[in-house]
Amino acid sequence: MTQCTTTAGASAADEKTFIVGPQTADCTGVAPMKCLQVKETASGDWTNFYTNIEGFTYEPGYEYVLKVKTEKIANPPADGSSIKYTLVKQVSKTKKMLPQPMRKHLL
């Protein structure tokens, strides 16, 4: 009998489900930037996500449900995240209507 694993050494504790909102928000990390709006539960509050998710390409106007692997970075840069986020699976991508002022910027 053999065991099939997709990621060596990964466990369920290393994975999170993120809901990514249909628009970004102005935020300030090292410099002013655009942050993804992310929450971990449908009833949770949107929070700014200051880093990227490796393997994920964001498209405005869609809400995503993502399975993401998290890994601690041994020696993170002073201005960077101490956690690396990697896309495991895009569970869903749903078209959302943006507020009127936001649609004008995208046209």
Tokens, residue 62: 């869609």
Q: Poorest-confidence range of 9-23, 64-78, 82-96?
A: 9-23
pLDDT in tens, 91-104: 999 999 866 555 44
Quote the CA–CA distance of 36 and 26 in Å, as a whole number.
9
**pTM of the entire structure?**
0.76
Distances (CA, A) of 57 to 30, 47, 77, 79, 88: 22, 19, 23, 23, 13
C-beta of residue 70 within 8 angstroms of C-beta of residue 11: no
Quote the CA–CA distance of 101 and 83 in Å, as a whole number.
34
